[in-house]
Amino acid sequence: MAINWFKYSAPTTFYGLAGKLIPWFAVSAAVLCAVGLYIGFVVAPADAQQGEFYRIIFIHVPSSILSMFLYLIMAAYAAMGLIFNTRLSSMMASAIAPTGALFAFISLWTGALWGKPMWGAWWVWDARLTSELILLFLYLGFISLHASIDDPRRADRAAALLAIVGSVNVPIIYFSVQWWNTLHQGSTIKFTGTSMHIAMQQAMFTMLVACWLYAITVTLMRVRSIILERERHTKWITELPEVQA
Amino acid sequence: MSLDIWMRENPLSYIWIGSYAVAFLIFAIEIAMVMHKRKVTLQQVRLMREAEKSEEE
């Protein structure tokens, strides 16, 4: 039996689906975060050069990856909203932006905390760090621009343009360590292999999945509020059990 | 200078307080804000529904 996936692109059906999925994603995120921290702090050995300080990567690397991927997903949703005029796509873009901004901030913050003991400085105007800071500003610009326009549909269109143009920054962040001489180290994990200890890899990947699940949980929670707010004049919203309660 | 010495003597405390505690605090604040937003939006929708009902009556 074929499932009609397109029906979930309508806010009416997506609202209920998101409500059912949130607890599963939330519990999985919490469990995986606990497992990842246990492996990262108890099982994984100290680094030969960096000592204990390297353990910041278990939050720093997933945050950095999430900040970039969430931006691309946000831009993709914004583009779909702009091209196909689908309501849910623009709502999803608005729901992703604050979480992406927080991950960009955590990436910069934890990077600074790692930089101080390793480089002797909280901040340097390195290509990787600067492009990540621009990413944070792009997120803040998207949120501010969207909030500054009263009509939600016009706000969606204006913010979508910024999101699409800003997406050029993501490959710049990723390839900055190859294109320029940067203080920031290159990728430790490559398709050809890695020199990392297996426990370090396990901790990092577990935390990466936990962060993904957390981001999905919070985005779904936020998009349900956005749907409620924007569709409040419709009949299906007034018939919801939580509204009638 | 004293922070430099402290962080080298207590690397795990430095990591936990400086990065993990801050990250988890940010996550907790975000969850609280999202839940608060939903509560407020639901209240607004209920008030609108009640106002429409009383207008009809």
ipTM for the whole complex? 0.92
Torsions phi, psi for A66 (to 5 deg): -60, -40
Give per-residue pLDDT as tens, A54-100. Answer: 999 999 999 999 999 999 999 999 999 999 988 899 999 999 999 99
How deeply is A203 buried, as exposed, middle or buried, from its count of CB atoms within 10 A (0-12, 13-18, 19+)?
Answer: buried
Does any CB of chain B come closer than 8 Å to the CB of residue A23? no
> How does the average pLDDT of chain A come out, rounded?
92
H/E segment holding residue A133:
helix A127-148
Rounded mean pLDDT of A216-241? Answer: 92
For the question of whether the overall pTM of this predicted structure is more than 0.90, the answer is: yes
Q: Looking at residue A218, what is its pLDDT?
A: 98
pLDDT at residue A187 tops 80: no
Cα Rg for chain A, rounded, in angstroms?
A: 20
Torsions phi, psi for A193 (to 5 deg): 135, -175
Give per-residue pLDDT as tens, A2-45. Answer: 677 677 778 899 999 999 999 999 999 999 999 999 999 999 99
pLDDT at residue A1 tops 70: no
CA distances to A143, A201, A218 from B36, in Å: 19, 37, 13
Q: Rounded to 10 degrees, what is the CA torsion of A109, A111, A114, A116?
A: -70
CB contact under 8 A, B37 and A225: yes
**One-letter amino acid identity for A132?**
E
Using CB atoms, pick whichever of A229, A238, A244 lies closest to residue B41. A229
Angle between helices A87-119 and B2-9 (to 10 degrees): 100
Does any CB of chain B come closer than 8 Å to the CB of residue A228? yes
Q: What whole-number distance in Å separates Cα of residue A159 and Cα of residue A226?
A: 16
In chain A, pLDDT over 90 holds for what percent of residues? Answer: 76
- Lowest mean pLDDT segment, chosen from A140-144, A236-240, B20-24: A236-240
Chain B hits for A60, Cβ within 8 Å: 19
Say if CB A71 and CB A138 are below 8 A apart: yes
Say if CB A100 and CB A216 are below 8 A apart: no
Residue A231 DSSP class:
T
CB contact under 8 A, A59 and B31: no
User: A47, A119, A220, A229: best mutation site toward chain B, by most B Cβ within 10 Å?
Assistant: A229
Does any CB of chain A come closer than 8 Å to the CB of residue B11? yes
**A24-44 burial, b for 16+ CB within 10 Å, e for fewer?**
ebbebbeebbebbbebbbeeb
Give per-residue pLDDT as tens, B1-57. Answer: 688 899 989 999 999 999 999 999 999 999 999 999 999 999 999 998 888 888 877
End-to-end CA distance of chain A: 36
Q: Looking at residue A186, what is its pLDDT?
A: 78
Return the ∠ at Cα A31 (arms to B30 and A24), rounded to 5°.
70
